[in-house]
Amino acid sequence: MKKSHQRIALVASLLSLAAASAQAQSNVSLYGLVDMSIGATKAPGGTSVTGIDSGKMTTSYYGMSASEDLGGGLSAVFKLEGFFLADTGAQGRFTGDAQFARTASVGLSHRDYGTLTLGRNTTQLFVSTLMFNAFGDSFGYSPSIRHYFAGGQGVTTGDTGWNDSIAYSSPSFAGLRFGVASATKESALGTGNSGNLSVSVGYSNGPLAASLVVQDVEKDTAVAVANTTTSQLGASYDFGVAKAFAQYGRVKNDSTGAKYDITGLGVRVPVGAGAVIAQWGELDAKVGADRTTLSVGYLHNLSKRTELYAVLMHDKVDGLSSGGGYSLGIRHRF
């Protein structure tokens, strides 16, 4: 009986060690963000709509990711991230959006050679745009995000993530990084489409950060779209008492011949347990109406994961009545 108990204890110990080893090699992380607010929005030339909204400052999302150590500095990585509407509980950013529209990728990462992923990858232009403006990735209030990407208002074609894509990002070389991404052509789109291509270079060291991104888009998911070429230069500098942001970009629609210059200036000033943020943006259309947007807000941290916010926006398109909006909301990260 004593030997039997010893064997059982030994097996249990071995199983515990194996489980601990497996857990140490590959831990799956579950994370996300829920953003809810109450306020009103008026599109330029439209009418004001009041309601409770999801994702005005950051689109609500959830995700899971893991990294498995393969030895020699090499790891296998995956990431699955999906959007949702917290006000209704619906999946995605809109009806028909894919389950993992934010990211769905798998790949290999090496500490000395960088990371290569396949699947649906977030575009380098979107990352650069959110990094170098005071409102980050806010589709509701960031002038930069709205001018480049917001559906029906932004001028860059293609989504913030590319399907059927391969993306490479380098390690940091004394603060300098570069990346390349391509979304392959889909045969169903015919002969006029050659897929998407993007290149980027960035620098971050101390208070200074900057990036340059150029992308060419000819498809969005599995649909051919107007071909646009976008180039963008962004920078930020943290003075301690305030952080300044600047962006300049040019979008050329090769299908219509339209051209747009997009300029953005912003600032973030720490105040007590929060910060005051402001961002101004101008979309200069070579043909058609110009657009100017100004957003101002206050962020208040209740904890490292929970934040309250209050935002005002003025949005003007030439020839239309002024638009804008306001929101009082909460963001919680998990």
pLDDT digits (tens, 9 = 90+) for 102-151: 999 999 999 999 999 999 999 999 999 999 999 999 999 999 999 999 86
* CA pair distance 233, 237, nearest whole angstrom: 14
Across-strand partners of 259?
252
Distance of CA 206 to the CA centre of its chain: 23
Distance of CA 162 to the CA centre of its chain: 12
Backbone angles phi, psi at 8, to 5 degrees: -60, -45
Q: How many CB atoms lie within 10 A of CB 156?
A: 24
In a domain, 3, yes or no: no
Averaged pLDDT of the chain? 91
Residue 22: predicted pLDDT: 45
In a domain, 320, yes or no: yes
Q: How many CB atoms lie within 10 A of CB 97?
A: 17
Residue 177: predicted pLDDT: 97
In a domain, 2, yes or no: no
Across-strand partners of 25?
none
* 262 Cβ contact partners less than 8 Å away, ≥ 6 residues apart: 144, 147, 148, 155, 232, 247, 248, 249, 250, 251, 281, 282, 283, 284
Residue carrying structure tokens 């992380």: 29
In a domain, 224, yes or no: yes
In a domain, 7, yes or no: no
Residue 222: predicted pLDDT: 61
Buried b / exposed e along 109-121 (16+ C-beta atoms within 10 A) = beeeebbbbebbb
Q: Are 180 and 199 in contact (CB under 8 A)?
A: yes
Residue 152: predicted pLDDT: 62
In a domain, 14, yes or no: no
Q: What angle do CA 95, 193, 201 make, to 5 degrees?
A: 85
Choose among 50, 106, 98: nearest CA to 76: 106
Retrieve residue 38's tokens: 């109450």
* CA pair distance 59, 93, nearest whole angstrom: 8
Residues of the chain with pLDDT under 70: 1-26, 151-153, 187-193, 221-224
Residue 192: predicted pLDDT: 53
Residue 18: predicted pLDDT: 42
**What's 215-244 look like in SS3?**
EEEEEECCEEEEEEEEEEEEEEEECCCCEE
Residue 198: predicted pLDDT: 97
Residue 255: predicted pLDDT: 85
* CA pair distance 292, 127, nearest whole angstrom: 22
* CA pair distance 255, 96, nearest whole angstrom: 26
Q: Are 63 and 82 in contact (CB under 8 A)?
A: yes
In a domain, 16, yes or no: no
The total number of structural domains that make up the chain: 1
Retrieve residue 3's tokens: 């030997």
284-324 pLDDT per residue, tens = 999 889 999 999 999 999 999 999 999 999 999 999 999 99
Q: What global pTM score does this model have? A: 0.88
**Domain of residue 79, residue span:** 25-333
* CA pair distance 168, 107, nearest whole angstrom: 10
In a domain, 10, yes or no: no
CATH classification of the domain holding 116:
2.40.160.10
Backbone angles phi, psi at 126, to 5 degrees: -65, -45
Residue 225: predicted pLDDT: 78
